[in-house]
Amino acid sequence: MTVVCDDDSDELALNRQLCFALYAASRAMTKAYQPMLKDLNITYPQYLVLMVLWEWAQKGDEAEKNKSLGALGQRLMLDSGTLTPLLKRMEQRGLVRRRRASWDERVTLVEATDSAMALKPRARTWVQQQLQLSSITRAEVVELHGDLWHFLQKLGSETAR
């Protein structure tokens, strides 16, 4: 997929490639988050895991079945081969707890520890401060967010949203 740019007629010019714009934006976003991640002593993938676990903790125990390793992988669009070592490192650091489901030992349940839950307010404050300091408005963020999810769905991502 390409983006039409007036400054170059070559279809394969880097500045015309949507894939590169998304890649560069992703790298810039990850770089922007580095001060917070360093302060929380976590990596970006660990932050993504924590955001899902914070959501789950907020819901309580009502849907324990939906708090499995498989559900986490689906939500993050990661396979278990990527997620398992990540969770193992997080467990060693005391950020997550993994346990077998009582109804099926093949199912691994994942939850945030108290230490992980203590990071949430700090992350929220940092994100809110960055939005206030940036030149992008909340409305622009919401619009871009919606456009990106729409784009993912158009690409056929069955796990989008």
Contact 123, 36 (CB under 8 A): yes
Residues β-bridged to residue 111: 97
Q: Encoding tokens for residue 160?
A: 């989008």
Q: What confidence tens digit (pLDDT) does each residue in 114-139 have? A: 999 999 999 999 999 998 888 888 89
Q: What confidence tens digit (pLDDT) does each residue in 79-91 have? A: 989 999 999 999 9
Domain boundaries, the chain: 1-32, 33-154
Q: What confidence tens digit (pLDDT) does each residue in 133-157 have? A: 888 888 999 999 999 999 999 988 5
Model pLDDT, residue 11: 86
Model pLDDT, residue 60: 72
Reduce the DSSP state of residue 38 to 3 states and report it: helix
Look up the CATH architecture of domain 33-154. Answer: Orthogonal Bundle (1.10)
